[in-house]
């Protein structure tokens, strides 16, 4: 779907009606009018347009309240496609989904190797999107756009990757390049914030008005979703949770500052801490440490519990600042959740200021390894469905 066509689908009233159908399907026209305060003729006119565009269909008849049974409306999930890209820091992955977030096709992962230039990185993205479009039989018109979840600092207004630290790249014009090449709407977002939006849309978290998704893997980042919208902050760095200082004289972080949370609980930091703490010649990765704890190794178990306490301290600070209804944890480190999460909960209970804050719900992502990709997809869906 060309960029102009996508924009035509995005009038405010259309988005209101679309989002109502998405969140309450199947639903009648009369109920939409009642819930949205739009007039019945306006709703009927918009529904006719949406059905003509193929994005909404009529389902079985609803229950009658005395007159003719109403026809019920629902989103036609397979009417259009979305391409989602997880870009970096170690690889690029790409999926094609329907409007419900069901993954229809998946690319082979492309491993990124340094040195890397902006042009090379962009050519990799273009190559993967072209391959995905070919996999649909070249049906370019059914693709509403491309969502890119990019590691590092992103200017969401221009779609520019300002700093991609793990790739040693700066000022990558992702949105401009992809839109010019494909004539599709492109949205680019920091990967941790994209994950937060994906958790809100697809992770069963649509029932809360404020949530934080925290991704703990090769780095540590967070995204805030408030009333269905991402919070970016004044300079687009809201959510740099991993660079919260927890020890003024602690380990030096990759950012150059001492004592950042990331310097203690990222995947790499965990391996280095374990090696140093137990004076090993070779570092063990997180999976190996988890297996040791699982087998009953007391040292590995205690180490993971200590890691849970450190994360819990960081999350308590987050609760005191943001006070979210729910915190969703994801990333590779959470594969050790059975040893880490109980200690996180205990630490929050011990340290949070109020009784209500102590009970802040902390869960582990249901989306697993697809969280970033589905987050990228949700960047387009929120544009389409929300005003």
pLDDT in tens, 279-330: 999 999 999 999 999 999 999 999 999 999 999 999 999 999 999 999 999 9
∠ CA 330-306-359, nearest 5°, is: 60
Residue with tokens 């059975």: 338
Residues 59 and 134 in one domain: no
Domain boundary among 75, 105, 127: 75
Reference 262, options 367, 333, 156; nearest CA is 333
Rounded to whole angstroms, the Cα distance separating 282 from 271 reads: 9
Residues 332 and 377 in one domain: no
Residues 211 and 291 in one domain: yes
Neighbours of 281 (CB within 10 A): 5
Helix (H) / strand (E) element for 362: namely: strand 361-364
The mean per-residue pLDDT over the stretch 215-244 comes to: 89
Looking at the structure of the chain, the number of domains it has is 3
- CB burial of 355-368 (b: ≥16 within 10 Å; e: otherwise) equals eeeeebebbebebe
Residues constituting the chain: 387
**Which structural domain, as residue segments, surrounds residue 64?**
3-75
Residues 350 and 226 in one domain: yes
Residues 62 and 95 in one domain: no
pLDDT at 65: 56
pLDDT at 387: 56
Residues 350 and 219 in one domain: yes
Residues 174 and 295 in one domain: no
Residues 249 and 378 in one domain: no
pLDDT at 1: 67
For position 267, which CATH number holds?
3.30.420.40
Residues 170 and 249 in one domain: no
Look at residue 278 and tell me whether its pLDDT is greater than 70.
yes
The mean per-residue pLDDT over the stretch 186-204 comes to: 92
The mean per-residue pLDDT over the stretch 109-126 comes to: 95
Q: 291 Cβ partners below 8 Å, 6+ apart?
A: none
For position 30, which CATH number holds?
1.10.10.10
Residues 230 and 338 in one domain: yes
The more confident residue out of 65 and 237 is 237
pTM for this structure? 0.85
Residues 169 and 211 in one domain: no
Domain boundary among 21, 43, 75: 75
Residues 289 and 153 in one domain: no
The more confident residue out of 25 and 93 is 93
Domain boundary among 75, 100, 117: 75
Least confident of 8-17, 353-362, 367-376: 8-17
To the nearest 10 degrees (0 to 180), the angle between helices 371-385 and 191-202 is 70
């Amino acid at each position: 779907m060309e960029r102009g066509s996508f924009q035509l689908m995005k009038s405010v009233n259309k988005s209101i009606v679309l989002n109502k159908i998405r969140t309450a399907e199947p639903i009648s026209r009369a109920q939409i009018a009642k819930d949205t305060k739009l007039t019945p003729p306006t709703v009927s006119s918009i529904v006719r347009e949406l059905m003509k565009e193929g994005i909404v269909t009529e389902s079985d008849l609803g229950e009658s309240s005395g007159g003719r049974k109403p026809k019920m409306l629902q989103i036609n999930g397979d009417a259009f496609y979305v391409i989602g890209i997880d870009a970096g820091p170690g690889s690029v992955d790409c999926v094609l989904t329907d409007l419900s977030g069901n993954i229809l096709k998946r690319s082979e992962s492309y491993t990124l190797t340094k040195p890397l230039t902006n042009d090379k990185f962009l050519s990799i993205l273009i190559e993967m999107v072209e391959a995905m479009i070919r996999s649909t039989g070249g049906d370019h018109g059914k693709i509403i756009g491309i969502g890119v979840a990019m590691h590092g600092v992103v200017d969401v207004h221009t779609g520019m990757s300002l700093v991609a630290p793990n790739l040693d790249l700066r000022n990558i014009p992702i949105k401009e390049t992809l839109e010019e090449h494909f004539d599709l709407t492109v949205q680019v977002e920091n990967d941790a914030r994209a994950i937060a939006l994906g958790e809100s849309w697809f992770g069963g978290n649509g029932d809360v008005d404020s949530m934080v998704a925290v991704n703990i893997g090769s780095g540590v980042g967070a995204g805030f979703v408030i009333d269905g919208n991402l919070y970016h902050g004044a300079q687009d760095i809201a959510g740099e949770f991993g660079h919260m200082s927890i020890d003024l004289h602690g380990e030096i972080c990759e950012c150059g500052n001492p004592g950042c949370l990331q310097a203690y609980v990222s995947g790499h930091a965990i391996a280095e801490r374990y090696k140093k703490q137990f004076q090993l010649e070779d570092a063990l990765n997180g999976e190996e440490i988890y297996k040791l704890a699982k087998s009953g190794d007391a040292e590995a178990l205690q180490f993971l519990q200590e890691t849970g306490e450190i994360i819990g301290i960081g999350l308590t600070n987050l609760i005191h600042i943001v006070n979210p209804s729910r915190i969703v944890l994801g990333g590779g480190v959470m594969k050790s959740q059975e040893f880490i999460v109980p200690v996180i909960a205990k630490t929050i209970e011990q340290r949070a200021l109020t009784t209500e804050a102590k009970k802040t719900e902390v869960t582990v992502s249901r989306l697993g390894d697809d969280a970033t990709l589905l987050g990228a997809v949700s960047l387009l869906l929120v544009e389409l469905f929300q005003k």
